[in-house]
Chain A
């Protein structure tokens, strides 16, 4: 069965410090990985997806198939980065996945001034 693990429920850093939110996955196939974010009083929304290999709001995430990880990184955290972050995956088990997502438990990031 698919599993996405975010080992840190809470993460606190100071403004300007680097931040890394950890995510590990377990699959037998080839998953696609995403990071979703929920800012205070806002809806859950996509931050970035592994296939795009892009940097969004200074965040990047690299898929490491050897370590089965998809950690989210930002070199200099900002106060506005404070939010709940979810790692998620979908996969193709021989057919379409219909966009079904498996989420990790989420990490609450707090960036202190």
Chain B
């Protein structure tokens, strides 16, 4: 069966420090991968998605970047964190090469607090 791992679960980082959140998927090949964020008082917002190795699309301009060095690995990064980067980050995957009605499977999330 497929599983998705996301870590760490919580993270407190000072302003200006770098960030690296990692997400891996097991039990499937060529998944679509996503990073979502929930900021305080707002819904989940798609940050990045990837349909293949090295293929990253950004949905909103921001201080973050994403990379997909391997088929089932998705990394969210920042060189210098801002206070506004605080939030709850969710990694998700869905089967690749499918249409609109595919279920997305979510990781447990990372609570990031920038201080």
Given A98-B49, A98-B51, A100-B49, are A46 and B103 neighbors across the interface (CB < 8 Å)? Answer: yes
Q: A45-B106, A98-B49, A100-B49 are in contact. Are A91 and B43 (CB under 8 A)?
A: no
Interface residue stretch chosen among A12-20, A62-70, A102-110: A102-110
A101 & B46 in contact (Cβ 8 Å cutoff): yes
Are A92 and B100 closer than 8 Å at their CB atoms?
A: yes
A96 CA / B107 CA spacing, docked (Å):
24
User: In the complex the two chains form, is A90's CB within 8 Å of B44's CB?
Assistant: no
* B34, B41, B44, B98: the one within 8 Å of A86 (CB): B44
A106 proximity list for chain B (CB < 8 A): 43-44
Contact string, A79-113, partner B, CB cutoff 8 A, digits 1/0? 00000001010111000111111111110000000
B94 at the interface (CB under 8 A from A): yes
- Name B4's closest neighbour in chain A (CB-CB): A43
State whether A103 touches B43 (Cβ < 8 A).
yes
How far apart sit A24 and B45, CA to CA, in the bound complex (Å)?
Answer: 17
Residues of B in contact, count (CB < 8 Å)? 26
Count chain A residues whose beta carbon lies closer than 8 angstroms to a beta carbon of B: 25
* Residues in chain A near residue B46, CB distance under 8 A: 100-102
Question: Residues of A contacting B100 with CB < 8 Å?
Answer: 32, 90-92, 96-97, 99
Q: Is the CB of A46 within 8 A of B42?
A: no
Report the minimum CB–CB distance from A41 to chain B (whole Å): 9
Q: Is the CB of B102 within 8 A of A99?
A: yes
Contacts of B2 in A (CB 8 A): none
Task: Give B64-115 interface residues, CB cut-off 8 Å to A.
Answer: 90, 94, 98-109
The 10 closest A-B pairs by CB, nearest first: A103-B44, A105-B43, A99-B94, A44-B106, A103-B43, A32-B100, A46-B103, A51-B101, A90-B100, A43-B106
For the complex with contacts A43-B107, A98-B32, A99-B34, 8 further pairs of A-B residues with Cβ separation under 8 Å are A44-B90, A44-B109, A45-B105, A90-B100, A98-B51, A100-B49, A103-B36, A105-B41
